[in-house]
Chains A and B, each alone.
Chain A
């Protein structure tokens, strides 16, 4: 890989992190559980871009939040968002990108692979978020599931379907090769 290419990759990851920060503030109102665009962005990032770039993007996004730029949903930022009770969901983005990206890398990027990979990534993210809540609040597994997983399942499935269909379309339209 040439030097120029390497620098370009770093810059792309940095820009996508900034895009993610901006998209986190845009919300589709879905009743009590809002759907922020960054969750859709993360699905597309994981489905269409190489794993390494995804990890860099999400890592920089988390660091941007840590240093106090309000890039997390609802203009939040700071140490609290990351190591607070809901921090698990943010680190979950990183896990989402890794799980989905690696699955697609090994199994190709057809329609069913996209569905399986995104469902897998989204579930792991939710479980990690709920696990953090559980540790913080010292609740039982059932209570954590009730607060941390159950309310997000419907929105999660909706999101996965949308991301997969859009990714499928883009892959066909722009002939994106398996990563």
Chain B
């Protein structure tokens, strides 16, 4: 239950934690983009060393990052095996029916494995070192230029913070409704498939209805307190761009140049 409220953020005071969330968000996306440029050993090892350096700088234990790999482990194994067994080219090591292990397949499989690991580590670093609220602010701030084309940036930020607020409430409420329905004789997760699917109905409908009712109440409460939309509203948390953020961008530019130099 706690997990759903706090996210996976691990509080700390490292260089990475102190970076502006906007910089972290943009750079994480950027890094995932440039990983696809790497296509030989030199470029992959350079990126791997860089990623490990970032992890070290965050002072978060490596085990948290390895946990991020676990849910995807089957997909990774499956993909790597698929690449190894079915692609051909280069020297042939082993051959049985349609299955073959070739030089090309092995290197390709290993590259895909590296790419997975790099992407998992970097994106895990973002969520581990940045609190959900900070990231929500970062998203609002980064979307701001879209206001020019009438994109409802402020409304998105409002909905995001309301949703954040209501996740724990709805979690409790779901548990309550399930208990109430159990008391009336519903067996969740038991019986035939049809029975199980039918048992969802007395859970879904009260959830929908109570959401609508609460939305009505909240809208009235907000309006009666003078809520008028985004115009002229001030913020409690203000993001501040610092020199270290600019330095981070410079560092990533250097990595990109090195990558272009190293790749085939």
A residues touching B (Cβ–Cβ < 8 Å)?
A: 3-4, 7-8, 10-19, 21-23, 25-26, 28-30, 37, 40-41, 44, 56, 59-61, 63-64, 66-71, 74-80, 83-86, 136-139, 143, 147, 158, 162, 166, 170
29 residue pairs from A and B, CB less than 8 Å apart:
A4-B223, A7-B227, A8-B219, A15-B215, A18-B167, A18-B170, A21-B4, A22-B4, A37-B204, A60-B156, A60-B159, A63-B136, A63-B160, A64-B160, A67-B139, A68-B9, A69-B164, A70-B4, A76-B71, A78-B8, A78-B127, A80-B72, A83-B32, A85-B79, A138-B108, A139-B83, A143-B82, A147-B78, A170-B205
Across the interface, name the chain A residue whose C-beta is closest to B193.
A30
How many residues of B are in contact with the other chain, CB < 8 A?
69
Across the interface, name the chain A residue whose C-beta is closest to B75.
A85
Contact B4 A69 (CB under 8 A): yes
Least Cβ–Cβ distance between B187 and chain A, in angstroms: 12
State whether the Cβ of B102 lies closer than 8 Å to any Cβ in chain A.
no
Contact A139 B82 (CB under 8 A): yes
Least Cβ–Cβ distance between A55 and chain B, in angstroms: 11
Most chain B beta carbons < 10 A, residue from A7, A138, A147: A7
- Secondary structure at chain B's binding surface: helix, strand, loop or mixed? helix
Residues in B25-42 with C-beta less than 8 Å from chain A? 28-29, 32
Assembly CA distance A162 to B174 (angstroms): 21
Contact B132 A69 (CB under 8 A): yes
7 closest Cβ pairs, A-B complex? A68-B7, A79-B123, A67-B135, A14-B162, A80-B123, A78-B127, A68-B127
Q: Give per-residue flags for B186-210: 1 if the beta carbon is below 8 A from chain A beta carbons, else 0.
A: 0001000100110011001101100
Across the interface, name the chain A residue whose C-beta is closest to B214.
A15
Q: Give per-residue flags for B37-78: 1 if the beta carbon is below 8 A from chain A beta carbons, else 0.
A: 000000000000000000000000000000010011001001
B residues touching A (Cβ–Cβ < 8 Å)?
A: 3-4, 7-9, 28-29, 32, 68, 71-72, 75, 78-79, 82-83, 86, 108, 112, 116, 119-120, 123-124, 126-127, 130-133, 135-136, 139, 155-156, 158-160, 162-164, 166-167, 169-171, 174, 189, 193, 196-197, 200-201, 204-205, 207-208, 211-212, 214-216, 218-220, 222-223, 227, 229
Instruction: Give every chain A residue within 8 A of B227 (Cβ-Cβ).
Output: 7
Across the interface, name the chain B residue whose C-beta is closest to A44.
B204
Assembly CA distance A21 to B160 (angstroms): 13
Across the interface, name the chain A residue whose C-beta is closest to B21.
A67
Assembly CA distance A66 to B155 (angstroms): 17
Across the interface, name the chain B residue whose C-beta is closest to A67.
B135
Contact B3 A15 (CB under 8 A): no
Contact B167 A137 (CB under 8 A): no
Least Cβ–Cβ distance between A13 and chain B, in angstroms: 6
From A4, A23, A41, A69, give the contact of B219 (CB < 8 A): A4
Contact A70 B8 (CB under 8 A): yes
Contact B170 A80 (CB under 8 A): no
Across the interface, name the chain A residue whose C-beta is closest to B217.
A11
Across the interface, name the chain A residue whose C-beta is closest to B172.
A22
Contact B3 A75 (CB under 8 A): yes
Across the interface, name the chain B residue whose C-beta is closest to A35.
B197
Assembly CA distance A8 to B9 (angstroms): 31
Contact B155 A10 (CB under 8 A): yes
Least Cβ–Cβ distance between A164 and chain B, in angstroms: 13
Least Cβ–Cβ distance between B166 and chain A, in angstroms: 4
Contact B72 A84 (CB under 8 A): yes
Least Cβ–Cβ distance between A143 and chain B, in angstroms: 6
Known contacts A30-B193, A137-B112; is A83 also within 8 Å of B163 by CB? Answer: no
Contact B127 A77 (CB under 8 A): yes
Known contacts A18-B163, A41-B204; is A11 also within 8 Å of B215 by CB? Answer: yes
Assembly CA distance A147 to B78 (angstroms): 9
Assembly CA distance A40 to B124 (angstroms): 29
